[in-house]
Amino acid sequence: MKIGGVALFRNTPSDDESFDVWTNHYKAINLANLFLESINRSSFDTDEAYNAYVAEAKFLRGLCYLTLSNFWEEVPLRLTSSKGQDDNNEPAAPLTDVYNSIIEDLTFASTSLPDPRHVSYVPGRAHKYAAHGLLARVYLKMSGYPLKENHYSDVIAHCEAVINSGFHGLESGDEGYRNLFLDIIGGVYNPREVLFEISFDNLRDQGINNTHGRLGSMNGLSFGVTASNINIGFPNGYALVGVYPTLTGLYDQENDKRFAWNIPSYQRTGTGDITGIPNQISGRQFCPAKYRRWEPLNYADIDIEGGTEEPYVVLENSSSELSRNFTSVNYPVLRYSDVLLMYAEAANELNNGPTAMAIQHLNEVRFRAGLNDIAVEKPAVASDKDFFFNELVDERARELCFEGRRRFDLIRWELLDEKLKQVKIIVEGHPDYLSTNGDHVASIRGPQNLI
């Protein structure tokens, strides 16, 4: 997705961002429908082999409808391929029909896709536990706005299918979070923690377009160069998106290892000097770096003033020469930590307070980040439903920021308007805020557009 109107809550039905999300997802849905109508059981030796292909098409169709419904709620439900122009005049289906279709597709996928440990599984493709994880996401959405149905037991059941699989887990070790994203940036599949990701590769040197992505480019660390052609050969980042102080304030910046990875606050200038960015509302340079394409060879260089051509390390693994505009960085759709936090949220709601297992799963995410037991650090959180929920609201931001989940989480919790107003208050109250600074003003446009 492009960066601009959607990120700033000022998109319209006619802009190219909305158009691209809508049309590209319906193109994928139509391809899935064509595949399902064309696949022939007689071409396969076993029902298992046949059903695995059907299940993968249904998995992708279900994922597309889940994304569309996250953006627009009621959408046209097309379960057969387009035969002509008149097929484009499909009215929006009731939201319950959309969700029932998603559940039907993903349920079939959860029973018919391979186990990721099976010899038939191809890394990067969908598998049964990814379907279970997405089903948990669907049921959690249905439990919140706008349906507000109680499906928390279904959330727990599908999370348990993943948790009890004996395969999935968090990337461990002191650098587990960092190493996980080094894999994602470097194109290395890590199916143990990343249940499903969308794969990209820059193959433009081979004459193949549209297999590349943009992660790490539009929202990557600023990288200045002195060469005449800055578009080729460097891990450039446009740094087009700044980070709200509301997010940085959620981290224990001294101890939470995720802070330094997600928001490292440095850049490379046009002279090759790698410098720190101390001001949290300095604009776009204080930007997300979860999908960074480069980092300093020596982090001590950040503190050296006036350095030139300070060495850096390229983290991206591209099949073509590095490009300013196109990357090979994969997009994680669903991670194991999300499953743990979904379980904790559902258990808290279902039992009118956090269960021992809910606390354990929250702690698993915290421990990997270098934090203490929540019951020790914040005893009230571990014993109160509302306090525990509020902690999960913050923890999902700390863990899953820049992975495309926050907007939809806040909508299903009915907290979007409240959180955007908090952004406005905090940004305008910052001592360095300037009403004449376009980047500062852009970061608070969301609440104005919702009024």
Q: What is the pLDDT of residue 271?
A: 84
Q: What is the pLDDT of residue 439?
A: 74
Which residue positions in the chain have pLDDT lower than 70? 1-5, 7-8, 226-229, 282-284, 306-307, 445-451
Q: What is the pLDDT of residue 229?
A: 64
Q: What is the pLDDT of residue 172?
A: 92
Q: Map out the domains of the chain with their CATH numbers.
A: 16-168 (1.25.40.390), 201-329 (no CATH), 335-450 (1.25.40)
374-386 per-position pLDDT tens digit: 999 999 999 999 9
How many angstroms separate the first and last alpha carbons of the chain? 25
